[in-house]
């Protein structure tokens, strides 16, 4: 699959690899902010979730520390909340101005793609579907995190301001919010560990969300439709790869 491998470095022809802009500076910044805030929220949230355990009591060793950790958690949550609000408003604004495509929205094609990939993984169907800017795996990640943060944000607000929320909501939402908050956080955490980390670290080491660029090889391999869009070329490397292999 990798043509560079077969030729020795001395005789290798100079190969220029085009890179394509995949993420804007703002999007990269938003991702870093998301990573940092979620990490802090996890680190300050897990000891609170598991307060009965020894390790948690080591961390939350004094009542003052509990308060401090809670304060860090709440302040970080405000940052994340502002980021989410900005993200949504910005996305709406850009889409209204036709400056942002609706690539991220799920479609029926994603379900067909997922089915295809599943059959492919089970050796039932050959080849992979052609993906656009975001394949269904990436969309699943985005929307899972999106709704996860939504649930965490709402339940977190209920837990932070229970007196306020029970003025118009039944009291039962408080323990439900507590249950949802800690469960959702854990599901989200483990899902990111399994799903997202596999796709960006193991399947291929994909730094495009940090650098903003993706090279032509990866574009052709994983986002052929987007590649065609951006270059106007056919560039169907997958087929030639199959033949070559």
Partner 1 sequence: MNQPHSRFKLLGFVFTLAVTLLIGLIGLDSTQQVQAAPLKQETETYCLSCHGSPELKNLTLPNGDEISLFIDPQALTMSVHSPAGIECEACHTDIKTYPHPEIDYQTARELSRSYYLACQKCHPSNYSLTLDSMHTQVAEAGNLNAPICTDCHGAHNVQSPNEPRTLISETCGRCHTEIFTQYKQSVHGAALLEGNPDVPVCTDCHGVHNIQDPRTEQFRIAEPEMCARCHADAALMGKYGLSADVYDVYSLSWHGVDLSVYKARWPTIWHDTAICSDCHGVHDILSTSDPASRVSEENLLATCQQCHPGVGPNWTGAWTGHYRISLERTPFVFYTNAFYTYFTPVILWMSGIYVILQLIRTMVDRARRSLR
* Residues that bind partner 1 in the complex, under the rule CB under 8 A: 1, 51-52, 57, 60-63, 118, 120-123, 144, 162-163, 166-176, 178-180, 183-184, 186-187, 190-191, 194-195, 198, 202-203, 245
Nearest to 144 by CA among 97, 103, 179, 104: 104
What CA–CA distance (Å, rounded) separates 104 from 46? 31
Q: How far is the CB of 196 from partner 1 (least distance, A)?
A: 9
Q: What's the rounded Cα separation, in Å, for the pair 204 and 49?
A: 34
Least distance between partner 1 and beta carbon 167 (Å): 5
Q: Closer to partner 1 by CB, 107 or 183: give it.
A: 183
With respect to partner 1, which residue has the nearer C-beta, 86 or 143?
143
- By beta-carbon proximity to partner 1, the closer residue of 150 and 171 is 171
Smallest separation (angstroms) from partner 1 to the CB of 82:
27
Q: Which residue, 90 or 141, has its beta carbon nearer to partner 1?
A: 141
Q: Is residue 111 a contact partner of residue 79, using CB atoms and an 8 Å limit?
A: no
CB of 37 to partner 1, least distance (A): 22
Q: Distance (Å, rounded) from C-alpha 192 to C-alpha 180?
A: 18
The Cα–Cα gap between 90 and 84 comes to 10
- Tell me how far, at minimum, the Cβ of 45 lies from partner 1, in Å: 15
CB of 25 to partner 1, least distance (A): 30
Task: Please identify, using beta-carbon distances, which residue of 14 and 124 lies nearer to partner 1.
Answer: 124
3-state class percentages of the chain: helix first, strand second, coil last, to nearest 5: 70, 0, 30
Q: Rounded CA gap, 211 and 27, in Å?
A: 11
Q: What are 123's two structure tokens?
A: 């050796």
Number of H helices, E strands in the chain: 13, 2
* Nearest CB to partner 1, comparing residues 30 and 136: 136
Choice between 30 and 140, CB closer to partner 1 = 140
Report, in Å, the least distance between residue 219 CB and partner 1: 19
Q: How many residues does the chain have?
A: 245
Segment holding 19, helix H or strand E:
strand 19-21
**160 burial level (CB within 10 Å; 0-12, 13-18, 19+):** middle
């Amino acid at each position: 699959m990798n043509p560079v491998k077969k030729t020795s470095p001395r005789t290798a022809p100079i190969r220029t690899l085009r890179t394509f802009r995949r993420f804007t500076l703002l999007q990269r910044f938003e991702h870093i902010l998301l990573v940092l805030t979620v990490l802090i929220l996890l680190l300050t949230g897990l000891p609170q979730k598991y307060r009965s355990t020894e390790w948690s009591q080591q961390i939350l060793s004094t009542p003052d520390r509990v308060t401090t950790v809670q304060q860090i958690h709440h302040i970080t949550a405000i940052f994340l909340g502002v980021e989410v609000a900005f993200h949504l408003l910005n996305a709406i604004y850009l889409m209204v101005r036709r400056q942002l495509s609706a690539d991220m929205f799920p479609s029926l094609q994603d379900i067909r793609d997922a089915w295809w990939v599943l059959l492919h993984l089970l050796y039932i169907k050959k080849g992979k579907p052609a993906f656009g800017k975001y394949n269904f795996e990436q969309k699943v990640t985005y929307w899972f995190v999106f709704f996860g943060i939504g649930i965490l944000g709402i339940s977190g607000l209920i837990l932070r301001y229970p007196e306020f929320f029970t003025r118009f909501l039944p009291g039962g939402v408080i323990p439900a919010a507590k249950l949802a908050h800690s469960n959702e956080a854990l599901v989200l955490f483990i899902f990111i560990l399994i799903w997202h980390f596999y796709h960006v670290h193991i399947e291929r080491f994909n730094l495009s969300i940090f650098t903003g660029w993706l090279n032509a090889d990866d574009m052709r391999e994983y986002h052929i439709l987007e590649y065609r869009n951006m270059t106007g070329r056919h560039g169907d490397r997958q087929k030639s790869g199959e033949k070559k292999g």
